[in-house]
Amino acid sequence: MTASIHDFKVETAEGSERALADFRGKTLLVVNTASRCGLTPQYEGLQQLRERYAARGFEVLAFPANDFLFQEPGSNAEIQQFCDTKYGVTFPVFAKVHVKGKSIAPLYRWLTAESGHDGDIEWNFAKFLIGPDGTVSARFHPKVDPLAPEVIDAIESQLA
């Protein structure tokens, strides 16, 4: 049984493997993203969160997914370019994954189980807050803006 996010290894957009143990001790916001979604402008708020809290041990981890109405059709390279040119993203955007269904990535199977919401992710931009110990401390609906007071309060409580 997986005890924390630090037990996972994921694929980078460049095709190499990255251990999430590299983020041990940091507060993380894990988000499934898409480039052609009505919620795509949330990238801007995610980047603002990273800029505001990075010095205090915070990081955003983005996992593009094409599971909702084919709103992330691009290649990993195209997604990286989009995030860089359109939103100036400086947080890690990993390789595309599945966040629901029979091909769900192990990380997302764990996130949904650990958050007390067994089952599928509702849509693009579902947010999971991970404490420095690697456990899920909160889950936010896709429509909750990254800069919403409840998200800010939850992040700050993990950084305190």
Burial of residue 11 (CB within 10 Å: 0-12, 13-18, 19+) is: middle
Q: How far are the Cα atoms of 21, 33, 146 from residue 17, in angstroms, in the given order?
A: 12, 19, 27
Q: Check: CB of residue 57 under 8 Å from CB of residue 24.
A: no
Amino acid at 101: G
Looking at residue 113, the DSSP 8-state letter turns out to be H
Which of the residues are catalytic?
A: 37
